[in-house]
Amino acid sequence: MIVRDLQDLAQSDRHVLTPDWESTRLIVKSDEMGYSVHHTVIPAGHEVRCHYQHHFETNYVIAGRGEVYHVESNKTYPLGVGSVYALDKHDEHIVRAIDTDLHLVCVFNPAIMGNETHNANGGYDSPVETVDGPVR
């Protein structure tokens, strides 16, 4: 069983802070679950462009208000507590926090290491692959 506390992890290398978002990685690759779980906060008035070319991601809003813009379709979707959006086709998107901080629970498959920041494309680099699939 794995039991962790968000506040404890906020003082570790699993807490990543950038000018436009911060993310505390609750479950990471070394936990060998096959996915990672993050608590991510986008401050009010900020936006983040993302394009996870090597990962699938599902996001669940637990606090705040925002929107997600899907680049390919040119559509914008409102986000509030209880909203979920999944990037099932490696969708390029922009997430915006409107007038409050936007808190998300994010699940990535495959899992990330835990201290990464976005690359130039707005995603994470490709995980190491084996004949049997991603390394866990």
List the single range of 24-33, 74-83, 113-122 with lowest mean pLDDT: 113-122
Residue ranges and CATH numbers for the domains of the chain are: 20-113 (2.60.120.10)
Q: How many residues does the chain have?
A: 136
Hey, CA dihedral for 69, 98, 82, 53, is it positive or negative? positive
- Distance separating alpha carbons of residues 112 and 125, to the nearest angstrom: 9
95 neighbors 128 (Cβ within 8 angstroms): no
pLDDT band per the 50, 70, 90 thresholds, residue 130: very low
Report how far residue 23's alpha carbon sits from residue 131's, in angstroms, rounded to the nearest whole number: 31
pLDDT in tens, 45-91: 999 999 988 899 999 999 999 999 999 999 999 999 999 999 999 99
Share of residues in the chain with pLDDT > 70 (%): 90
**pLDDT for residue 127:** 66
pLDDT at 40 over 50: yes
- pTM, two decimal places: 0.87
Instruction: Give yes or no for residue 35 having a pLDDT over 60.
Output: yes
Average pLDDT of the chain, as a whole number: 90
Identify the pLDDT of residue 128: 54
For residue 113, what pLDDT band results from cuts at 50, 70 and 90? confident
